[in-house]
Structure 1
């Protein structure tokens, strides 16, 4: 099993303390979280895309490009890229550039996106957002695979033998389809033979398990090898401690802040108590063995091989969240890596035939010592 840490870059008061950092400091926290995730051995780091309050994740390509420059190994995910809101040509240009800057560490999770404010900002309606998502992905996919594209889409101007640059580093890139509630995104993933990422954060397991079951059904109906159907899944929170009592005590202020937020919205919480939340939601709150057992229970229903956890504290103190992630990586992840298989493909990027592979130990410091404009010499590990 592989593990990725994800942030949606929420910019709101801390649910426990009420303090709110500046926008500048909030981005610094995100970068710190990415470096921490790589330091701890996470396999991926993801940044969401939202275009409305309380999020400031409107430019995931910019954030991930900065993270790419500061990291060496960790794969970089979008969570999710809202193709229903974007011009697929412009999105292709941004992500193909990021693909090169990250040495092929980029993976996309796409989706239609949520929220009425961002739909209004981009003049997208609830009636056409699914069609926009499917059309944009189809065109994005063609642009990534072909040097010239001719297409007559409904939601953007036609392309006639169009060349779009730069050509990407990975050919093709891996694209996951994020799904929370709709069969439309599930069917789109299965149709193209792409992996599925279940949001799996708001409700109990049943509706998500049904969508995963439908994905595998449609996968086979489209003629794909069932052994290659791949699922990732989210988690609603993480707080690992040596004992379940300590984990619940540490997480209780966070959960109470969540309940207060739900009350302000006039919404009935899905999980009315912390004990119910820890038991029936996908939250990983408990001792290492409890978390291992819960992931196994979910794996029995999903068959997932990738799991995401929150990259950021979300109400826990920074020190407590860091300790939780450290315990997760030292006591939980090794058992799950041993017991649950990886996705059915190599995790490390594979360079195109015409591109040298950068040495994995090369760092920004190595390049800083070069004279201005100089290029590093090829090595045996890079090819020529």
Structure 2
């Protein structure tokens, strides 16, 4: 079982002061967070890609490269790369470079992205939303398989038997498919034999168990060895010294972000009652002391089957020292509890 962290490098207003830190400061903070995650033994760190004012990182590969040079063991991934509006050749080259700097620790998490700002920014039509992703994923996988590439498509110039360099330190870059949990995306990942990341950020994680089963059936029907496929989850959360402290620290910025996005997307108001309900054992928020968060991760493993859990922290803007504390507790307290318990019951 792998335990890690994801971040969207947010720069929302401080809930108490209204101040907004600079993009540059938040980017530097995230590099420090990745270095700490490596030091406390976490397995993976993912950085999201966004193209709007309240998120500082539009170029995760650059940030991950900076962290690669300062870490030794932790895997480094996007969370996600918005493949539909990117160029698969450049994306592959950038991650192959991170793989060289990190001595083989780079991964790509490819997705459509739940935010759409990158489409008009890079000149893409939203009506091609699904077609762009399918075509570019096909090319990315082809590059990963072969040094020389011949390819023709609709949304990018053709490639006539050309080499793509550098090649990674690993034999192939791990390429994960990120999904919000739609049956179609899970089935596609299964048919392609690619590892699957589920964004479990609402409702009950138990609702994702049928999606995992669909993914496995699709993989098996396509002739892939299901035992070799990996399933990960990404969920909002925060670890504190006590559960009460964790909730009180994590709620304000979470509610602020959820209500801003809720106005954009027509969601119901996000309240403390909503927050507390999601923090229960079967809810999608992983907030509490180390034992509480560990119990929820073990519950998720037993009932959904994930082999990698990534805690998304912070949601919104929180004091940097609080984020560092949560990462430290995740690494030195939560992860050992989870791994020991899973090893115990899997050995029975």
Q: Same fold (TM over 0.5)?
A: yes
Q: 2:305 aligns with which of 303, 306, 310?
A: 303
Q: Using the alignment, how far apart are the partners of 2:46 and 2:115 within structure 1?
A: 20
Q: CA deviation at 1:233?
A: 0.5
Decide which moves more: 128-137 or 267-276: 267-276
- In the alignment, does 2:255 pair up with 1:253? no
SS class of match (2:202): coil
Aligned to 2:290: 288
Q: SS at 2:164's partner residue?
A: coil
Q: Distance in 1 between matches of 2:212 and 2:269?
A: 24
Partner of 2:346: none
Q: Is the 8 A contact 1:292 1:336 kept in 2?
A: yes
1:4 Cα deviation from its structure 2 partner = 1.6
Once structures 1 and 2 are overlaid, which stretch shifts more, 76-85 or 158-167? Answer: 158-167
SS in 1 for 2:76: strand
C-alpha distance in 2 between matches for 1:256 and 1:82? 26
Query: Per-residue deviation at 1:68?
Result: 1.0
Question: Contact conserved, 1:203 with 1:270, CA < 8 A, in 2?
Answer: no
- 1:72 deviates by 1.8
Q: TM-score, normalised by structure 1?
A: 0.81
Cα distance between partner residues in 1 of 2:158 and 2:144: 17
Structure 1 consecutive aligned stretches of length 4 or more whose deviation exceeds 6 Å: none
Say which SS state the counterpart of residue 339 (structure 2) adopts: helix
Which of these two proteins has the greater Rg computed from alpha carbons? Answer: 1
Matched with 1:67 is 67
Shift of 1:116: 3.0
Residue deviations 1:189-216, cap 9 Å, x none?
A: 2122111010111333254333222211
Q: SS of 1:149's equivalent?
A: strand
- Show structure 2 runs of 5+ residues with no match: 344-348
Contact 1:7 1:312 in 2 (8 A): yes
Query: What is the rounded CA distance, in whole Å, between the counterparts of 2:331 and 2:144 in structure 1?
Result: 35
Cα RMSD after superposing both structures:
2.3
The 2-side partners of 1:164 and 1:144 are apart by: 9
Higher helix share: 2
Using the alignment, how far apart are the partners of 1:325 and 1:33 within structure 2?
A: 8
In structure 1, how many angstroms separate the alpha carbons of the residues matched to 2:125 and 2:255?
35
Q: How does 1:1-384 map to 2 (within 5 A)?
A: 1-242=1-242, 244-258=243-257, 260-261=259-260, 265=264, 267-269=267-269, 272-279=273-280, 280-312=282-314, 314-340=316-342
Q: TM-score, normalised by structure 2?
A: 0.89
Contact persistence 1:232–1:305 (CA under 8 A): yes
Residues in 2 aligned to 1:189 and 1:295: alpha-carbon distance in whole angstroms = 23
Structure 1: gaps of 5 or more residues: 342-384
Distance 2:177 2:237 in 1: 21
